[in-house]
Amino acid sequence: MLHYIDVILPIPLEKLFTYSITTAESEFLKPGMRVAVPFGKSKIYTGLVFNIHQQKPVAYDAKEIHQILDEAPITTANQLKHWQWIAQYYMCTLGDVLRAALPNSFLLESETIITKNLDKTINDEDLKDEEFLVYEALHHQSSLKIQDLISILDKKNVFPVINALLDKDAIVLQEEVYEKYKPKLVRYVKLNPRYSDPAKLQSLLEELSRAPKQRDVIMTLFSISAQTKKPVKVSDLSEASEASSTIIKTLIDKEVFEEYYIQEDRVGYSGDANEDSKTLNNHQEKALTEIKHTFEQHNITLLHGVTSSGKTEVYVKLIEDVIATGKQVLYLLPEIALTTQLVTRLENYFGGKVSVYHSKYSAHERFELWHNVLENQPKAQIILGARSSIFLPYHDLGLVIVDEEHETSFKQFDPAPRYHARDAAIVLASLFDSKTLLGSATPSLESYYNVQQGKYGLVEITQRFNDVLMPDIELVDIQDKHKRKRMNGHFSDRLIEEMTEALKEGHQIILFQNRRGFSPIVECTTCGHAPQCSNCDVSLTYHQYKNELRCHYCGYYTAMQKTCMACGSVELDNKGFGTEQVQEEAQVIFPEHKVARMDLDTTRGKFGYEKIIRAFEEKEIDILVGTQMLTKGLDFRNVKLVGIMNADNMLNFPDFRAHERSFQLMLQVSGRAGRTDERGKVLIQTYNPHHRILQQVSTNNYAEMYVEQIDERHNFNYPPIYRLIKITLKHRDFNKVNIGAEWYATALRQVFKNYILGPEFPPVSRIRNQFHKNILIKIPPQQSLGKTKKAIAKVNNSFLSIKDFRSVRVILNIDNY
Ligand SMILES: Nc1ncnc2c1ncn2[C@@H]1O[C@H](COP(=O)(O)OP(=O)(O)OP(=O)(O)O)[C@@H](O)[C@H]1O
Ligand SMILES: [Zn+2]
Q: Which ligand is nearest to the CA of 766?
A: 2
For ligand 1, whether the C-beta of 405 sits within 6 Å is no
Residue 460 located in a structural domain: yes
For ligand 1, whether the C-beta of 280 sits within 6 Å is yes
For ligand 1, whether the C-beta of 310 sits within 6 Å is yes
What is the DSSP-derived secondary structure letter of residue 276?
P
In DSSP notation, 368-400 reads HHHHHHHTT-GGGSEEEESGGGGGS--SSEEEE
Residue 586 located in a structural domain: yes
Count helices and strands in the chain by DSSP H and E runs:
26, 37
Closest CA to 570 of 536, 522, 533, 617: 522
Closest CA to 305 of 543, 547, 625, 633: 633
Q: What is the pLDDT of residues 379-424, one digit of tens each?
A: 899 999 989 999 999 999 999 999 999 999 899 988 899 999 999 9
CA geometry: angle at 545 spanning 544 and 550, to 5°?
60
Atom 7 (ligand 1) nearest CA: 310
Specify whether 290 is located in the same domain as 210: no
Return binding residues for Zn(2+).
Answer: 524, 527, 533, 536, 551, 554, 564, 567
Specify whether 307 is located in the same domain as 387: yes
Count: domains in the chain: 6
Specify whether 487 is located in the same domain as 620: yes
Pick the atom of ligand 1 nearest to 307's CA: 26
Specify whether 709 is located in the same domain as 593: yes
Pick the atom of ligand 1 nearest to 461's CA: 21
CATH number at 136 reads 1.10.10
Dihedral, CA of residue 138, residue 144, residue 150 and residue 154, to nearest 10: -30
Which of 467, 486, 506 is where one domain is finished? 467
Residue 651 located in a structural domain: yes
For ligand 1, whether the C-beta of 668 sits within 6 Å is no
For ligand 1, whether the C-beta of 465 sits within 6 Å is yes
Specify whether 306 is located in the same domain as 360: yes
Distance separating alpha carbons of residues 135 and 614, to the nearest angstrom: 45
Q: Which ligand is nearest to the CA of 308?
A: 1
| Predicted pLDDT of residue 105 | 62
Distance separating alpha carbons of residues 543 and 536, to the nearest angstrom: 18
Q: What is the pLDDT of residues 74-107, one digit of tens each?
A: 999 999 999 999 999 999 999 999 989 987 667 6
What is the DSSP-derived secondary structure letter of residue 654?
S
Which of 576, 602, 620 is where one domain is finished? 576
Distance 500 CA to ligand 1 centre (A): 28
Specify whether 337 is located in the same domain as 414: yes
| Predicted pLDDT of residue 263 | 60
Specify whether 568 is located in the same domain as 600: no
Out of 279, 311, 312, mutate this one to test ligand 1's pocket (max ligand atoms within 8 Å of CB): namely: 312
Distance 307 CA to ligand 1 centre (A): 9
Specify whether 672 is located in the same domain as 548: no
Specify whether 544 is located in the same domain as 441: no
Residue 368 located in a structural domain: yes
Mean of the per-residue pLDDT values for the chain?
A: 87
Q: Which ligand is nearest to the CA of 311?
A: 1
Pick the atom of ligand 1 nearest to 305's CA: 21
Atom 16 (ligand 1) nearest CA: 310
For ligand 1, whether the C-beta of 674 sits within 6 Å is no
CATH number at 512 reads 3.40.50.300
Q: What is the pLDDT of residues 268-309, one digit of tens each?
A: 444 566 677 888 999 999 999 999 999 999 999 999 999 989
Residue 439 located in a structural domain: yes
pLDDT per 10-residue tile (average), the chain, 817 residues: 92 89 92 87 81 92 85 94 96 93 66 75 85 86 79 72 79 50 66 84 85 87 80 84 83 87 55 76 96 97 95 96 95 76 86 82 74 92 93 96 94 92 98 97 97 97 90 94 93 97 94 83 76 78 83 80 82 81 94 90 69 84 89 82 92 86 94 87 94 95 96 92 94 93 94 88 83 92 92 94 92 92
Out of 635, 639, 667, 702, mutate this one to test ligand 1's pocket (max ligand atoms within 8 Å of CB): namely: 635
Distance separating alpha carbons of residues 214 and 197, to the nearest angstrom: 19
Run of H or E including 402: strand 397-403
Q: Which ligand is nearest to the CA of 677?
A: 1
Domain containing residue 247: 193-255
Residue 379 located in a structural domain: yes
For ligand 1, whether the C-beta of 548 sits within 6 Å is no
Pick the atom of ligand 1 nearest to 441's CA: 25
For ligand 1, whether the C-beta of 463 sits within 6 Å is no
Find residue 403's DSSP bridge partners. 439
Residue 36 located in a structural domain: no
Atom 29 (ligand 1) nearest CA: 635
Specify whether 421 is located in the same domain as 483: no
Atom 10 (ligand 1) nearest CA: 310
Which of 713, 741, 763 is where one domain is finished? 713
What is the DSSP-derived secondary structure letter of residue 279?
P
CATH number at 791 reads 3.30.70.600
Specify whether 701 is located in the same domain as 670: yes
Specify whether 331 is located in the same domain as 423: yes
Find residue 185's DSSP bridge partners. 263
Out of 286, 309, 313, mutate this one to test ligand 1's pocket (max ligand atoms within 8 Å of CB): namely: 313
Residue 206 located in a structural domain: yes
Taken as a whole, the chain contains a residue count of 817
Residues in CB range of 658: below 8 A, 6 or more apart: 650, 651, 652
Q: What's the distance, CA 91 to chain centroid?
A: 21
